[in-house]
Amino acid sequence: MTKPILIMKTGSSLPDLVARRGDFEDWIINGSGQPPSRFMVVDVEKSQSLPAVTEVEAVIITGSHAMVTDHEAWSEKAAQWLAEAVRCNLPVLGICYGHQLLAYALGGEVAYNPNGREYGSTEIRLSHKARADRLFKVITPHPTGFVSHAQTVLRLPEHAVHLAFSEKDTNQAFCFNHTAWGVQFHPEFDADITRSYIESSREALKNEGGDPDLLLAGCQDTPLGAQVLHRFIEIIGHPDAL
The CATH number of whichever domain residue 76 belongs to comes to 3.40.50.880
* Beta bridge partner(s), residue 143: none
* From 45, 149, 188, 219, the catalytic residue: 188
User: Average of pLDDT values for 109-127?
Assistant: 97
Task: Tell me whether residue 219 is in a domain.
Answer: yes
Q: Is residue 97 part of a domain?
A: yes
Residue 44 is predicted with a pLDDT of 98
Q: Look at residue 237 and give its three-state secondary structure.
A: helix
CA distance 74 to 18: 22
End-to-end Cα, the chain, rounded Å: 26
Closest by CA position to 139, among listed 201, 221, 222, 64: 222
Catalytic residue among 25, 45, 96, 175: 96
Q: Is there a domain that residue 142 lies in? A: yes
pLDDT band per the 50, 70, 90 thresholds, residue 124 = very high
Residue 93 lies in a domain: yes
Question: From CA 160, how far away is CA 102, in angstroms rounded?
Answer: 11
What's the average model confidence in pLDDT over 149-169?
Answer: 97
Total count of domains within the chain: 1
Taking 60 as the threshold, does the pLDDT of residue 28 lie above it?
A: yes
Looking at the domain assignment, is residue 48 inside a domain? yes
- 88 labelled catalytic: no
Rg of the chain, C-alpha, whole Å: 16
Determine, yes or no, domain membership for 159.
Answer: yes
Q: To the nearest whole number, what is the mean pLDDT of the chain?
A: 96
User: For residue 198, what pLDDT band results from cuts at 50, 70 and 90?
Assistant: very high
Q: Is residue 242 part of a domain?
A: no
Q: What percent of the chain has pLDDT over 90?
A: 95
Q: Alpha-carbon distance 224 to 160, whole Å? A: 22
Overall average pLDDT of the 92-99 stretch: 98
pLDDT at 109 over 70: yes
Asked about 219 being catalytic, the answer comes back as no
Note if 238 is an active site residue: no
Cβ partners under 8 Å of residue 115, min gap 6: 168, 169
138 lies in some domain: yes
Range of 95's domain? Answer: 5-237
